[in-house]
Chain A
Amino acid sequence: MPAILAEGLAKHFSPDIKAVDGIALEVPEGQIFGFLGANGSGKTTTVRMLTTLLRPTAGRAEVVGLDVTRHAGEVRSRIGVALQEAGLDDIQTGRELLALSARLYRVAPSEIAGRVAQLLRIVDLEDAADRRLKTYSGGMQRRLDLAAALVHRPSVVFLDEPTTGLDPISRDSIWRYVAELNRSEGVTFFLTTQYLEEADRLCHDVAIMDYGRIVAQGSPEELKASIGTDVVSLRIEGGADELTRAEQAVRRFEGIEDVRAVDDAVICYVREGSSAIAKLVLLLDEAALRAKEVTLARPTLDDVFLKKTGHHLEADEAGAGADPAGRARGRRP
């Protein structure tokens, strides 16, 4: 039985706003599954449907073998969720918040104090346990939120962008807790993220979501291997015209598998990167174009993302962040 299953899952806020447009997912038990996508790609809407906060427009989803619409109450008691905003009650102390969560999750009264103390220790918040949450830093709030999601020992935990906005040290702490809990207790994690490094480092499998649809799915290694090539990036001097001409020029290279023009660069996917560089530069030279910078790299998840969606993930954030709903309004031609 998969920990999470979705078939044709969709959420349409209106005929024009298709936040999630019929996705299929299967996450085995004990896996850390990463859901990659830019702001507004439909990640959070998917999480809200899988965690019973939103009713799907179409399709179905099961979590721990239970239909999220028909058995919402049971699903809630079996999962833990840390949403995008920590969403904590800053009047309470950390210990009080965890104890209240434990009570609402029906943890046996005799176990609550011990479980709360254990979780505070796991997330390194013992010293701050009796301080009000308004005195917590963002990183401390995220760690406490993660602890609150674990208070009833759920078998599946959803983390919606658990590290967004955190400093590198806090981010690393969250990664460590997730990896440790997955390894030691077999907890299945479903995490959405915009950080490709996070997905690459933590996740057994990832899905890339764009405009409400899953455009690629597999292990990070499989996805990178699916590109199967080196990535040569040529930053072109000049403007849009030069970039278009450069894209046309490098397409004449026999060993080229794919080309993308992004910002001021032409990204070339080639089999033998080191030997291809000289030929690519020569082709530019023949077209009276100059590369101001040339880099060669093995494919990363960012390259996978770029190839599958046509845009970088992190470079996309500023624009997309200004109008998250805008991305869901319709498919790119």
Chain B
Amino acid sequence: MRHAIGDTYFLMIRALRETVRQPALEIGNVFIPIFFFAVTVGAIGSSAARAFGVDNYTGFQMPIAVLQGVAGAAGVAGIGTVTDIERGYFDKLLLTPAARISLAMGRLAADGVRICLLSAFILVVGIVFGSGLESGPLGAVVLVAMSGLFGLAYSGIGMALALKTGSAQAAQLGFLIFFPLLFLSPAFAPKEFFAPWLEFLATINPVTYIVEGMRSLVLEGWDAAALGKAFASIVAMGAFTMTLVLLGLRSRTA
């Protein structure tokens, strides 16, 4: 166990070094959510109070921008692993006595750190745009931590696909899966305004609870029930995706 933690740490540092040395790869993850945030608030913000009874639509949308950033960063989590597989470095790592689980967890942990930094940046941009944050500085920490954990759980999809297939195209499917999940959540309006079929889908969609948990921190302050559901959704997603990662890892090792 001690070795697994140490190996994960060393491999996380190596993955973060890649990010620091290729900062251009993060531009899209920052720019796209902020662009959609600005456009959505600009288009709907002034009529949101009348249409859905949401006074602070900037705050209503800010968690969506954060989640889009998370999805952008986490959805391509498997690409680094595919690159390692393609250039043979993954085999080099498999040849070391490093704990097998750390070969996946090192990159996932690095993704978690990247996602926390990205979320913090989008959060600051949102506050500057006037979203507010009812839960205060501690709420910001919780929101960023929630983003990081969600990103870690969500990265597992791309990582599992990368390990199983060794294909960049397959690994990017993780990113595509997010958008149906986001649009089937109350991303743009409260779910009480949804058609019944859509409301049902939103109710069984784990992203709904993550959106509502984050939104509660921004708009309401501390809502234990909303936060509990959000963290429970993240844990459930994480348990599912980490199982896939372990299966993918097993298929890669002798």
In the bound complex, do residue B97 and residue A106 qualify as a contact, i.e. CB atoms below 8 Å apart?
yes
In the complex formed, the residue of B with least CB distance to A145 is B92
Residue with the highest number of chain A CB atoms closer than 10 Å, among B7, B22, B96: B96
Chain B nearest Cβ from A3, distance in angstroms: 17
A148 to B96, CA, bound (A): 11
Q: Which one of A51, A86, A96, A132 lies within 8 Å of B95 (CB-CB)?
A: A51
Residue with the highest number of chain A CB atoms closer than 10 Å, among B10, B14, B88, B92: B92
- In the complex, whether B94 has a CB less than 8 A from a CB of chain A is yes
In the bound complex, do residue B96 and residue A91 qualify as a contact, i.e. CB atoms below 8 Å apart?
no
Chain A nearest Cβ from B44, distance in angstroms: 41
- In the complex, whether A55 has a CB less than 8 A from a CB of chain B is yes
In the complex formed, the residue of B with least CB distance to A101 is B96
Chain B nearest Cβ from A225, distance in angstroms: 37
**How many interface residues does chain B have, given as a range?**
20 to 34
In the bound complex, do residue B10 and residue A53 qualify as a contact, i.e. CB atoms below 8 Å apart?
no
- In the complex, whether B50 has a CB less than 8 A from a CB of chain A is no
The 0/1 profile, CB within 8 Å of B marked 1, for residues 84-95 of chain A is 011111111000
Q: Which residues of B contact A103 (CB under 8 A)?
A: 6-7, 10
A106 to B97, CA, bound (A): 8
Tally A-B pairs: CB < 8 A. Answer: 68
Chain B nearest Cβ from A73, distance in angstroms: 6
Q: Which residues of B contact A83 (CB under 8 A)?
A: 88, 91-92, 95
A55 to B253, CA, bound (A): 9
- In the complex, whether A76 has a CB less than 8 A from a CB of chain B is yes
The 0/1 profile, CB within 8 Å of B marked 1, for residues 42-70 of chain A is 00000000011111000000000000010
In the complex formed, the residue of A with least CB distance to B14 is A100
In the complex formed, the residue of B with least CB distance to A88 is B89
Instruction: Say yes or no: A76-B3 contact (C-beta < 8 A), given A91-B17, A92-B17.
Output: no
In the bound complex, do residue B18 and residue A91 qualify as a contact, i.e. CB atoms below 8 Å apart?
yes
- In the complex, whether A77 has a CB less than 8 A from a CB of chain B is yes
Q: Which residues of B contact A87 (CB under 8 A)?
A: 87-89, 91-92
A81 to B17, CA, bound (A): 25
- In the complex, whether A105 has a CB less than 8 A from a CB of chain B is yes
Chain A nearest Cβ from B199, distance in angstroms: 46
A77 to B3, CA, bound (A): 13
A87 to B90, CA, bound (A): 8
In the bound complex, do residue B94 and residue A92 qualify as a contact, i.e. CB atoms below 8 Å apart?
no
Q: Which residues of A contact B22 (CB under 8 A)?
A: 91
The 0/1 profile, CB within 8 Å of B marked 1, for residues 71-85 of chain A is 011101101010101
A76 to B103, CA, bound (A): 15
- In the complex, whether A104 has a CB less than 8 A from a CB of chain B is yes
In the complex formed, the residue of B with least CB distance to A132 is B21
- In the complex, whether B134 has a CB less than 8 A from a CB of chain A is no
Within 1-16 of B, Cβ neighbours of A (below 8 Å) are at 3, 6-7, 10-11, 14
A79 to B22, CA, bound (A): 33
In the bound complex, do residue B7 and residue A104 qualify as a contact, i.e. CB atoms below 8 Å apart?
yes
In the complex formed, the residue of B with least CB distance to A105 is B96
A162 to B89, CA, bound (A): 16
**How many interface residues does chain A have, given as a range?**
20 to 34
Within 52-102 of B, Cβ neighbours of A (below 8 Å) are at 84, 87-89, 91-98
Q: Which residues of B contact A90 (CB under 8 A)?
A: 87
Q: Which residues of A contact B95 (CB under 8 A)?
A: 51-53, 76, 79, 81, 83
In the bound complex, do residue B97 and residue A77 qualify as a contact, i.e. CB atoms below 8 Å apart?
yes
In the bound complex, do residue B97 and residue A88 qualify as a contact, i.e. CB atoms below 8 Å apart?
no
Instruction: Say yes or no: A52-B17 contact (C-beta < 8 A), given A91-B22, A105-B96.
Output: no
In the bound complex, do residue A76 and residue B96 qualify as a contact, i.e. CB atoms below 8 Å apart?
yes
Q: Which residues of B contact A51 (CB under 8 A)?
A: 95
In the bound complex, do residue B97 and residue A73 qualify as a contact, i.e. CB atoms below 8 Å apart?
yes
A101 to B11, CA, bound (A): 10
Q: Which one of A55, A85, A96, A148 lies within 8 Å of B17 (CB-CB)?
A: A96
In the complex formed, the residue of A with least CB distance to B93 is A104
Q: Which one of B11, B21, B87, B92 lies within 8 Å of A148 (CB-CB)?
A: B92
Residue with the highest number of chain B CB atoms closer than 10 Å, among A53, A79, A86, A91: A91
Chain A nearest Cβ from B103, distance in angstroms: 10
A100 to B93, CA, bound (A): 10
Chain A nearest Cβ from B142, distance in angstroms: 33
In the bound complex, do residue B91 and residue A53 qualify as a contact, i.e. CB atoms below 8 Å apart?
yes
In the bound complex, do residue A85 and residue B98 qualify as a contact, i.e. CB atoms below 8 Å apart?
no
The 0/1 profile, CB within 8 Å of B marked 1, for residues 26-51 of chain A is 00000000000000000000000001
Q: Which residues of B contact A85 (CB under 8 A)?
A: 87-88
Chain A nearest Cβ from B80, distance in angstroms: 10
In the bound complex, do residue B254 and residue A72 qualify as a contact, i.e. CB atoms below 8 Å apart?
yes
Chain A nearest Cβ from B243, distance in angstroms: 23
Residue with the highest number of chain A CB atoms closer than 10 Å, among B6, B11, B14: B14
Q: Which residues of A contact B17 (CB under 8 A)?
A: 91-92, 96
11 contacts between A and B (CB under 8 A): A53-B94, A53-B95, A54-B254, A55-B254, A69-B254, A89-B84, A89-B89, A90-B87, A92-B14, A92-B17, A104-B96
Extra pairs beyond A83-B91, A85-B88, A87-B89 (4, CB < 8 Å): A73-B97, A86-B88, A89-B87, A132-B21
